[in-house]
Structure 1
Amino acid sequence: MAHNLNFNNRTGKYSFFSVKEKAWHNLGQIVEEYPTSEEAIRFAGLDYEVEQSPLFTKSVGFIENGDDIIMNDSALEVPNYFANIRTDNNTVLGVVGKDYQIVQNREAFSFFDAIVGGGNGILYETAGALGNGERIFITAKLPDYIRVGNGDDITEKYIFLTTSHDGSGSITAAFTPVRIVCQNTLNASLKNMSNVVRIRHTAGAKQRLEDAHKVMGLANKLSNELEATFNHWSKITVGDDEMKKLIRLALCPNKETLTNLQKGSFDDISTVFKNTVDDAFAYAMISESQQMETTKGTLFGAYNAVTGYFQNVRNYKDNEAKLQSIVLGETAQLKSQKAFELCETFSRLGSDSLIFN
């Protein structure tokens, strides 16, 4: 099942909701109005609890019983490990260590409510559960926008959160601007500020989840700085050769490829990388969203060529792989961050900054 959405046998529905827009293979619940956090939990099928239960295995061995020897298969408790169990259907979601602390689904939503004081402008847009319900995700739209140029190029501001109940990963919350014209996620962080908060499921995780909104409060400051940065970039002209060079640097996959670029040995560069660069460059040149005054032949357009490639051009095996790449800090986010850093340097030093080092 490519979408990997949880199907709840109790309700007969997939554990996912979206406001107005169909997504995830047209599965789940589509609602017309933005819900409250309590409604979102219910619409997404996340209204279940997770509890820890002691873990047991069979004791292996034999005991004497008079003249007979019988197998001893009594239960033996596994020390320092527990099973996380979904209480509405008794599904085991994962095995965790003694220090793991459960963060319930409702607590994940309370994180969002805390950011803006409980419903003052935050809009829950999607939420759902994957697999057996061991991983959940939530996206919420923040008030206001990032505006570039004369105001026609608008970026919405989102916060994305995902957490797992199987011990496989941390609680992750990320500030994620999305450019409306092409639904293009603009992953970026400035200077020493990060757009991602990761919290481990250990003792104190609940407290850190409650405190995380203080860090995510930087989102407003970050969005203001991004608006100023993007507007500045939209006024800097970038030629076709500079555009392609910047794309090559941003998408460069390894040191070997970088060495070949430095030497000008393009024949030794992999066909996969060449095709990736060509696809991103083609997106920059012909995509309708790249023909706006803010993006056509500009540094802002060069940045969007990289982020837009991952969002709108690259093929993924399924939606979960796309989610992992774009939002959860894997390939797309790393390359987008590299593009951001290259554009920031270009804005200060010009084309001389595009060196293969």
Structure 2
Amino acid sequence: ALNSHDGSAAFRIITTPIRVVCANTQRAAISCARSSFTVRHTAGAKARIAQARTALGLTFKYAEEFEKAARRMVEAEMALGELRSVVDAIWPVTPNDSKQKRTNTEKRWGQISYLFEQAENQAAIRGTRWAGYNALTEFVNHEAPSMGKTDDDKRRARAARIISGSADSLMEKAFALTTV
């Protein structure tokens, strides 16, 4: 649920698997929302809230389906070779591609395979399809190269990429390719 608290924007309820903790994740949650309901701060707001309660029945169904998919992914093993196939499908490389692109591809693979096999935050899910999906999204959100002279500039560029939604299609494709 999102609210401006001063009445300047509508109260919004969205269905999303993204946990909102900052403006970046709020933007990602809004752009990935599977359903939403808006209530403007007007005299008819109470009636709209009653409608929202009915509409939220569908929201809970989406959340349940996402949870089932995530649970299946946690329970399904994923070998490193399978993850490599997913990476190659998301970022295809051909023999005619430049040496720089092939070098970048191997650097990307090194980072993603590290996240999958060794990252501390993957310990509880290591070797699962859920770990594969999380390695991919962590790479896209936190590790992927970005423009900037300083580390702070690069972090800002990554945040802008997330806020703009330009990384959404990659993460959706990662989910589709790792879901069982």
Distance 2:59 2:139 in 1: 25
Bigger relative CO (Cα 8 Å, ≥ 6 apart): 2
Structure with more strand by fraction: 1
**1:174 Cα deviation (Å)?**
5.1
C-alpha contact (below 8 Å) 1:175/1:196 kept by paired residues: no
Identical columns (%) = 19
Q: Which residue, 55, 60, 70 being the options, matches 1:230?
A: 70
Q: Is 1:297 the equivalent of 2:127?
A: yes
Q: Which residue, 140, 144, 154 being the options, matches 1:314?
A: 144
Give the TM-score normalised by the residue count of structure 1: 0.36
Partner residue in 2 for 1:69: none
Deviation readout 1:2-44 (Å, 9 max, x if unpaired): xxxxxxxxxxxxxxxxxxxxxxxxxxxxxxxxxx843xx6xxx
For 1:190-205, list aligned pairs within 5 A.
195=34
C-alpha contact (below 8 Å) 2:4/2:11 kept by paired residues: no
For 1:84-163, list aligned pairs within 5 A.
106-108=7-9, 110-112=10-12, 115=13, 157-158=19-20
Q: Is 1:245 the equivalent of 2:92?
A: no
Q: Which residue, 338, 345, 348 being the options, matches 2:173?
A: 338
Change (3 A) 1:242 1:300: same
Amino acid aligned to 1:175? A
Amino acid aligned to 2:29? F
**1:267 Cα deviation (Å)?**
7.0
For 1:170-209, list aligned pairs within 5 A.
175=29, 195=34
Partner residue in 1 for 2:42: none
Distance 1:301 1:233 in 2: 8
Structure with more helix by fraction: 2
Distance 1:196 1:247 in 2: 29
Partner residue in 1 for 2:116: 284
Q: Which residue, 149, 159, 168 being the options, matches 1:323?
A: 159
The unaligned stretches of length 5 or more in structure 1 are 1-35, 42-105, 117-141, 147-154, 163-171, 177-186, 198-209, 348-357
Amino acid aligned to 1:308? E
C-alpha contact (below 8 Å) 1:175/1:195 kept by paired residues: no
Distance 1:156 1:338 in 2: 16
Higher Rg of the two aligned structures:
1
What SS is found at the alignment partner of 1:247? helix
Partner residue in 1 for 2:41: none
C-alpha contact (below 8 Å) 1:159/1:175 kept by paired residues: no
**1:305 Cα deviation (Å)?**
1.0
C-alpha contact (below 8 Å) 1:325/1:333 kept by paired residues: no
Amino acid aligned to 1:157? R
Partner residue in 2 for 1:221: 61
Change (3 A) 1:196 1:339: farther
The unaligned stretches of length 5 or more in structure 2 are 37-44
Amino acid aligned to 2:106? K
Distance 2:23 2:99 in 1: 43
Deviation readout 1:182-206 (Å, 9 max, x if unpaired): xxxxx9x6xxxx5487xxxxxxxxx
Change (3 A) 1:156 1:325: closer
